[in-house]
Structure 1
């Protein structure tokens, strides 16, 4: 950029017209979840360059990725719809522009050997990170099976420690998402999932959330990111691409494609047409609006934050709808 004054006004104007004046890429924080590692497909295949948008995907653990967003180090972050409400309630708003997927079995309540159903957790200890999605999953499972929250004893446990805590037999069950839930199953032979996100599809949506400032300033570029995402989603849905998809995703977290395949199966990637249905307003878990309302009520009940959140302010389907409109032309 220091060279621009030497080029003269005409050259600078030409550069600006060609889109080079704002050379800073869109900075996106992503982490270890199949629907987010999937961005690697677009990066490795050069689809962002083909779309004419510069992106900088930065790899973090999940909580640090949100910290990076809150501190302004990145323009966007991959989060669950529930965690977006929490970051917004504590001072950093965001707008979801892409529904990547919903959890379809990767989030689990894993019980020790001898416990075969969630009903059998009555009177038992469950290791859960309070206020996080696993807590909501547990409460949903209890309710669906005629139990109340006080029918179990919650042992507040960081999610990444749940495998060790279950193996130590300090608790009778844990709640976690992959890869922690899978590690818990391995850590205690004979343990089993007694309730998963596949039993409540839509309870956890995974989205790309953008800062309102960046979205307003770079809306055309974010529209290109949306376009690339649905190219990725279509590629992932084609059965003939499965081996390539597993190779790319598994390499990012340094495990074998065979080990990674169950993680991918526990994540429901949404095509463009499927996402449009999930963008509809409504109640219940069938839409991201309804799901977010459920999470908001949960967060208020358990004092994750004090003031109700307007979920509509966190969601913007316009870029997805615009892409769908162009597809139909």
Structure 2
């Protein structure tokens, strides 16, 4: 698995790219053509590969064309109108919109459930042990958000640590630096960092704050409005995917499919899958409620918006509601 995703994984760069190409709202696909969906290397999105390989979309009477991208490239493609929908985090949906590429979140695929983590060197047991120490992570990206969330819960702020801006892919080497006490990374990079420094361990992970990072299917408003029935069929296939992956009898087959798409051994992929909480449509519907807190897509996205502004990803807060359409999610 590469450094594919996440909120705002590569978001600042992606935003610059969207602006540079003069991105506009993506166009709808032809009424009789395939729905074009961009996906990338994160378990909650690679899960779609099961439906692709099994032919479930054809069985459901919907024509789709899934296109594989590096994460930032998928955002660029959406901004350029080359695809109708893209798998991104809720926070990155706002980032794309701020660059001129408005999208609506119509369904949830999962939330990060441990794959994102703050890793401390041997001897460090909790986040409070980082007081006055240096933490290496990519400023403005998801591990930055995760650290701030953890520090707040521990009664600390970012002023209590020194953040060293480091590319996520470089964190395994950086953790070996005597001057650095911890790093922020997501799997598989996080695992590489811990393997390189025996005794290093997670001090805080996304499993400690469920719903901090939601992964979604974001669709262009024109495609969603023009082909709502087709998007409803796509969403119904998702329930079949989740059931297949979570059933102990069929999970080995699912893992083989997902691991092959990601280019890693199945036994390794199982670990990544455990750090991702896949959400059925019914589970996702419960999150499509307008409330505060991380149990709500609205509340989580407002938190992402606040973070994006404070981190300088974009300048002004946005209307979160305009980015969410619960009409097909079954929310009550």
1:86 matched to 2:91: no
Cα deviations by residue, 1:172-228 (Å, 9 ceiling, x for unpaired): 211122222222222322211100000001000000111112111221211111111
Per the TM alignment, residue 169 of structure 1 is displaced from its structure 2 partner at its CA by 4.3
Native 8 Å contact 1:82 1:133 kept in 2: no
1:64 matched to 2:103: no
**Which of 120, 141, 153 is residue 132 of structure 1 equivalent to?**
141
- Corresponding residue for residue 8 of structure 1: none
Per the TM alignment, residue 292 of structure 1 is displaced from its structure 2 partner at its CA by 0.6
Native 8 Å contact 2:119 2:204 kept in 1: yes
Cα deviations by residue, 1:230-261 (Å, 9 ceiling, x for unpaired): 11112222222221121111111121111111
Per the TM alignment, residue 161 of structure 1 is displaced from its structure 2 partner at its CA by 2.2
Moved runs in structure 1, 4+ residues, more than 4 A?
Answer: none
- Structure 2 residue matching 1:69: 3-state secondary structure: helix
Cα deviations by residue, 1:73-101 (Å, 9 ceiling, x for unpaired): 21111111111111111211111111001
Per the TM alignment, residue 107 of structure 1 is displaced from its structure 2 partner at its CA by 0.6
Native 8 Å contact 2:89 2:215 kept in 1: yes
- Corresponding residue for residue 311 of structure 1: 320
Counterpart Cα distance in 2 of 1:172 and 1:102? 27
- Corresponding residue for residue 170 of structure 2: 161
Native 8 Å contact 2:238 2:281 kept in 1: no
- Structure 2 residue matching 1:297: 3-state secondary structure: helix
Residues 24 and 187 of structure 1: is their aligned pair in 2 closer, same or farther, counting only changes over 3 Å?
farther
TM superposition score normalised by structure 1: 0.88
- Corresponding residue for residue 271 of structure 2: 262
1:181 matched to 2:193: no
1:241 matched to 2:218: no
- Structure 1 residue matching 2:105: 3-state secondary structure: strand
Counterpart Cα distance in 2 of 1:294 and 1:282? 12
Native 8 Å contact 1:33 1:178 kept in 2: no
Counterpart Cα distance in 2 of 1:160 and 1:84? 23
Per the TM alignment, residue 114 of structure 1 is displaced from its structure 2 partner at its CA by 2.2
- Corresponding residue for residue 105 of structure 2: 96
1:122 matched to 2:131: yes
- Corresponding residue for residue 227 of structure 2: 218
Which structure 1 residue ranges, 5 or more long, are not aligned? 1-20
Counterpart Cα distance in 2 of 1:187 and 1:63? 27
Native 8 Å contact 2:238 2:280 kept in 1: no
Counterpart Cα distance in 1 of 2:144 and 2:304? 11
- Corresponding residue for residue 228 of structure 1: 237
Greater CA deviation, 42-51 or 219-228? Answer: 219-228
Greater CA deviation, 85-94 or 201-210? Answer: 85-94
- Structure 2 residue matching 1:239: 3-state secondary structure: coil
TM superposition score normalised by structure 2: 0.87
**1:275-290 equivalence runs, <5 A:** 275-290=284-299
Counterpart Cα distance in 1 of 2:176 and 2:327? 46
Counterpart Cα distance in 2 of 1:271 and 1:218? 22
- Structure 2 residue matching 1:123: 3-state secondary structure: coil
- Structure 2 residue matching 1:320: 3-state secondary structure: coil
Residues 276 and 72 of structure 1: is their aligned pair in 2 closer, same or farther, counting only changes over 3 Å?
same
- Corresponding residue for residue 15 of structure 1: none
Greater percentage in helix:
1
Per the TM alignment, residue 23 of structure 1 is displaced from its structure 2 partner at its CA by 4.2
- Structure 2 residue matching 1:92: 3-state secondary structure: coil
Cα deviations by residue, 1:101-143 (Å, 9 ceiling, x for unpaired): 1111011011122222111111111112111111110000111
Greater CA deviation, 202-211 or 213-222? Answer: 213-222
Q: CA RMSD in A?
A: 1.6
